[in-house]
Structure 1
């Protein structure tokens, strides 16, 4: 059995150069590309998530870890057929209309990707009709919306309403500083996550239900 502990640690410490070197060494040694991704790279991010949630790691460190992991995945990806890459589900991500904040959203996207989800990030300032059009095009399992301003929270409700009107099948989840579980319940969202690590837990929970 291959020991991925040192690769896990390189991901956790966000050492991109070391991750690249170790991944190449595993590839040269004939280790299965899927094993490198699942146990080495995702394995490292599985340590990061709980540490971040517990307050032992901070946003810049998580971003570095996610970047280091992505650098490793990029080396291995060409050796894996697309349909072999495990995917837990597809998440459509975006910051709602009128809101230009994206650090939290980007962090959620990176954490979801590193946990094995396929993420389609629409970006910032996304109106309800554009979310609905993207749902019809990409057929995601979950729509994850972010807002950082109290004034733009209403646009989450507008989006949830329009999704229901359009009759598309998707679970809507919300997050961002002013958002709460109470607000999520009020607008009929399927869930709320206070931070990026919780967003991953929530998506896992919703898709295993």
Structure 2
């Protein structure tokens, strides 16, 4: 088994101590940008395993939270070796929990995963009004906007936000992905989103397909 396969396996099995050990040995070699990309890809593959295990019921929400924290640690360790090359980032994404909802676990997991996938992420936080999304989109001109919500009231807030982006003349230039348990296929259509998911790993796949 190669060291990258070992890393993927360790991430997939949430073996934090082993992941950190592998990474510290790795950075002591003063790795190149290309080598760091291999590490990130190996970790991404590990996160896909985590997502699959969650879908099968082998992992639970607590495991997803831990995987997001682990991924954040990975990024922090290898970030100094990524340099400032514009080729690092695949696209820009603005994410936030909509007004009336204070939950951020799912958003934070998704944030860590899209960051590791190569996106430039702008997290505007929780309980964010329409104006906050509109202003941030106007400011950074992202490719994607991600809206999160766990409460059923979040559905109307998501629709208001999409409508606000339309009124501001910004909707046609972006893709909108919705996240959270209340969001269904029907709700996504009602809100006006391009896609929805309750699984962070699946959400990353969708976002990556939009910027290829």
Does the alignment reach a TM-score above 0.5? yes
Tell me which of 58, 63, 66 is aligned to 1:64.
66
Is the aligned partner of 1:199 residue 2:187? no
Following the alignment from structure 1 to structure 2, what is the Cα–Cα distance between the partners of residues 75 and 158?
Answer: 39
Q: Which of 40, 43, 50 pairs up with 1:48?
A: 50
The number of equivalent residue pairs is 208
TM-aligned CA deviation for residue 182 of structure 1? 1.0
- Provide TM-score, normalisation by structure 1: 0.86
Partner of 2:14: 14
Q: Are the aligned partners of 1:66 and 1:114 in contact in 2 as well (CA < 8 Å)?
A: no
Please tell me the root mean square deviation across aligned C-alpha atoms, in Å. 2.4
C-alpha spacing 1:82/1:54, structure 2 compared with 1 (3 Å):
farther
Segments of 5+ residues of structure 1 without an aligned counterpart are none
Instruction: Determine if the alignment matches structure 1 residue 180 to structure 2 residue 184.
Output: yes
- 1:77 corresponds in structure 2 to 79
Match of 2:102 in 1: 100
Q: Report if aligned partners of 1:180, 1:194 keep a CA contact under 8 Å in 2.
A: no
Q: Which runs of 5+ in 2 are unaligned?
A: none
Moved more, 118-127 or 3-12: 3-12
**2:147 paired residue number:** 145
Q: How does 1:151-170 map to 2 (within 5 A)?
A: 151-168=153-170, 169-170=173-174
User: What TM-score comes out, normalization by structure 2 length?
Assistant: 0.85
For 1:92 and 1:152, locate their aligned partners in 2 and report how far apart those are by CA, in whole Å.
Answer: 17
